[in-house]
Structure formats: C-alpha cells, structure tokens
A and B are shown apart, each in its own frame.
Chain A
C-alpha cells in the first residue's frame, strides 16, 4: 500500500508521516522544509508559489500516474480547497477532518461531529481524507527520503497584497506548559496579573476564541480549540475559560488539565483533572507564592 500526503504546512506533513509510518509506504508533497526528509517518506517533493489551480492540476496528474492507494491532505485552507477539487476530479470520495485511521480490509476513521460534541467512528472504502491538525506528535526516523523539487505552472490568481500579522513567535502546539486565558480575565490589562504564573512555570500563553479573535488580547495564532490550535502540553491551565465544547476539542491532547473558574457549574470542571472554584485574581497570586 502506498499513500500520498499533501500539506502546505510542513509541520502538519511531519505529523501525518509519523502517524502513518509502518502502516504503508508514503510520499509527501509540501513546501520547503529542512527536516521533512527525516520523517520516513520515500519521496519528498517541494513546491513553490502554489495556489489552488496549479496545485490541483499537478496533484491530479501525480495521483493518477502514481496510483496511490490513499491520499491524505492536511486540513488547512488550501488543503480543504484541494481536497474538494481532487475528490471531484478523480472521483474519489473524501472523508473530512479525520483524526484516526485504521486499515484492515475496510477503512475505519474517526472525526468530530455535531460541532465537536461527538466523535463518529465510520467504516468506508474511501481513499481520500482531510486530516485534522495535531493528529500525533511528530517524531523523526533514521531513514532519509529522496528529495526533489516540483515546477508548478503559473497560477491564474494574482496576489496583490500581503500583510503579515503580529504573531508572537512561538508555536503553542510545541509548548510543554500552557497558561490559557478566557473572557473571565476581564481585560487585556489583566494579562499582567497572570504573568507571574506564566513566568514561574516557563509557560506559553494561549486563549479562547473570544480572547484571540473578538477582543484581540492575544494574537490569532494563540487561539486554542476546534477552529484554533489543537494543543498537547503536559499541563494546560485554564483561567476564566468556561470550557465550551469547541474549546475542549482543542485541549483533549493535554496530559493534565487544571482549571480555575469562579462558576462551580462551568463545563470546564467536567473536563479537567484538577479544578479550583474561585476568583482567579485571588487564586493565581497565592499559587505563585506557593510555587516559589
């Protein structure tokens, strides 16, 4: 069995390669990345200036020519666009957003459904999948891949402006300890009140969707959840986060979850290992004292 893996984000490609390693042979197509050839693919192909049109054309040809048994596309903007186009062009139905894949005769996959409320486990004979980010922790292997570069046709889309956003550098998906803030923090000003805890634990700061998108107390790349990042730290400390299902979907990979919330009935207490009911502004300073 042989699979093609595609992601415009090398980080996701590394995860999928790690996840499928040992199950089948793999080739991977992604953007330039020094480390990608160390994750167990036979062939690594790098492309530049990819857009939906030139990439879908290239991928359709490449998949037909190489007769891959399976195609795994990471769920990014361009990944989902391509999966839709390729599933139609190649007459391969696509199972979206999977986070588990087993194959023994039939294929068994898992994905979230009802907005993250449930997990559906399905049996199908599908050959194309979009893969949810964070399917596993990427690990290198000894085997080195063959690397080649792809020349794509010129795209018909014209990029007329690129505005980079202030992303605060580090990727929260790699963090070992995360202090995550929710609307309960009250204001951007109050971030400095929890900063001593962050410093004491050498933690990364992340947040719920309203904190990152609506109020912009943190940059968007710090959003945790179904539509944000899926994180898997050793400790996830939720401060003033209610724990709606869409948030929980992003933290299930955490080893230990600690929650501080003043509302005893907040759903986060159903999804944590240790919870303290109370005002975060009194509890956090006390905790910092104890940690010193």
Chain B
C-alpha cells in the first residue's frame, strides 16, 4: 500500500515570548512538528506495519524543514519530500502546492492532521479532496483497510460513526487516534543519514489579506490572588449571589 502523510512544521509555540506591546516575538524560535502531523505520521506508520507498504512524507516548508522530516523518518516514514517556499498560513496556496506534488505519484491513502496547531484552519483536507478528486473523511480516530476499502471511524460529540469509503481517499486524523511513538536513539541516528528530496514549490501567494494587529489578548481580569489560607470568605461572599 502506498501511503502519503502530510507534515507541517511550526514554530514551538510554547516558546513564544511577548514584547512590551503584547506582540509575539517570532525571531529565532525553535521549530517542531505540528502536533496533529505527529498523530498523522503515527497513523501512517501503523497502517504500513499492519498492511505493509511504504510511507512517503511531504512537507511544504523551507530549507529548515529537513529537521522535521528526519523526525518523521525516525518514526518510520520511508521516503520524504520537502517542498520549499512556504511563507505563511494560507490553506489555498498550501493546498495547491501539496496537490501538485501528490498528483505526480499514486497513493492509496493520504493522511494529514485535522487542524494544525498554529492556525487551526482545518481546511486542507477539503481543499485537497477537490484538487485531487478524492473522497475525504475527517477527524478519524480509527482506520481499517480491506482490499480497496477503508473503514474510518470518525469522532463527533455524541457518537462515533464508522464510514466506508473506497480508496484512494484522504483521511484527516484527530489527536485521540493514537499516541505518537518516541523513536529510539538508533532510529534517530539512522534517520539523520537518510536522503531527503528537496524541491521548489513556486507558491502563488496573493496580497489579499493585511494583518492589522497580532497580539496576545489583553486580560481584563481582576487578578485578586489570596495566599496563606486567606480568600475563602471573600470568594464565598462573591459566590453567594448564585444561591
């Protein structure tokens, strides 16, 4: 089975500091694999282990994305392409660039995350399904494959629904689908030596949005903090109104 997994690299958002204006300082932040991309990689590798086949990782990023591809290799991805030219979160552009590369090979299943951890856009699965003319199922918590059919269990609030679809198809995964593995040192070392295919993406970014501001929301909270066993009377008094 030929499996593609789409991997996004983001900055490490936990490391973002704010300047005096409450704006994020984005310089020199460490990069890491998007949280749900990690679940996508784990899901892809598990499918390979269960049904045999090959996993191809694809990142639309920059020169610096090879570190994330190596992480994907260490987790069990066999082959990887880094497409250069990523500038900003723009699902239409990302979709077009990724579709271009995906069209050139035959995949039985294309796996990605449901919503990426920085932008949360969640639009990519739908965009790619239109670009490639494939079925799409999102927010999967389980994938079973029989011949050319996938049974995908999708999580929703009140029920888990199992849907049958023909392959090839696009499946996005939820965080609950698995616990991404921690690669062993040997695998990390081997991954460092593997070849990564690096190509240019030629993305067609348009100047169609202007950022007016990008700031941490200012907290209007009172922030009255009690220590040393104090505060219970005060808080009880405030809560009395509900009774």
Contacts and interface: CB of A to CB of B under 8 A. Distances in A.
Interface of A: 52-53, 75, 77-78, 80-89, 93-97, 108, 112-115, 117-126, 130, 156-165, 167, 176-177, 200-202, 213, 220-221, 226-227, 234-235, 252, 256-258, 264, 269-278, 283, 286-287, 290-291
Closest 3 interchain pairs by CB? A84-B126, A290-B236, A96-B121
Residue among B92, B154, B239 with max Cβ neighbours from chain A (10 Å): B239
Contact of B123 (A87, A115, A200, A252): A87
Interface in B193-238: 208-217, 219, 221-236, 238
Contact of A130 (B123, B137, B210): B123
Given A114-B13, A120-B211, A273-B221, A291 B227 contact: no
Interface in B155-209: 156-165, 175-176, 208-209
Contacts of A120: 211, 213-214
A277 B226 contact: yes
Residue in A82, A84, A85, A86 with the greatest tally of chain B CB atoms within 10 Å: A84
Contacts of B47: none
A16 B126 CA distance: 22
Given A252-B217, A275-B225, A283-B232, A161 B162 contact: yes
B229 A278 contact: yes
A270 B223 contact: yes
Contact of B160 (A52, A78, A165, A234): A165
A264 B217 CA distance: 22
Contacts, number: 238
Interface residues of B, number: 77
B224 A160 contact: no
- Main secondary structure on chain A at its contact with chain B? mixed
Interface stretch (B56-64, B71-79, B103-111, B112-120): B112-120
A77 B242 contact: no
A110 to B, nearest CB: 9
Contacts of A277: 225-228
Q: Which of A119, A213, A234 has most B Cβ within 10 Å?
A: A119
Contacts of B139: 77
A253 B238 CA distance: 18
B129 interface: yes
B239 A158 contact: no
B157 A221 contact: yes
A120 B217 CA distance: 9
A225 to B, nearest CB: 12
B126 A274 contact: no
Given A270-B223, A276-B226, A84 B24 contact: no
Contacts of B242: 176-177, 201-202, 234-235
B135 interface: yes
Contacts of A278: 227, 229
Contacts of B230: 276
A286 B231 CA distance: 11
Contacts of B227: 264, 277-278
Contacts of A118: 23-24, 214-217
Contact of B122 (A80, A108, A112, A273): A80
B224 A273 contact: yes
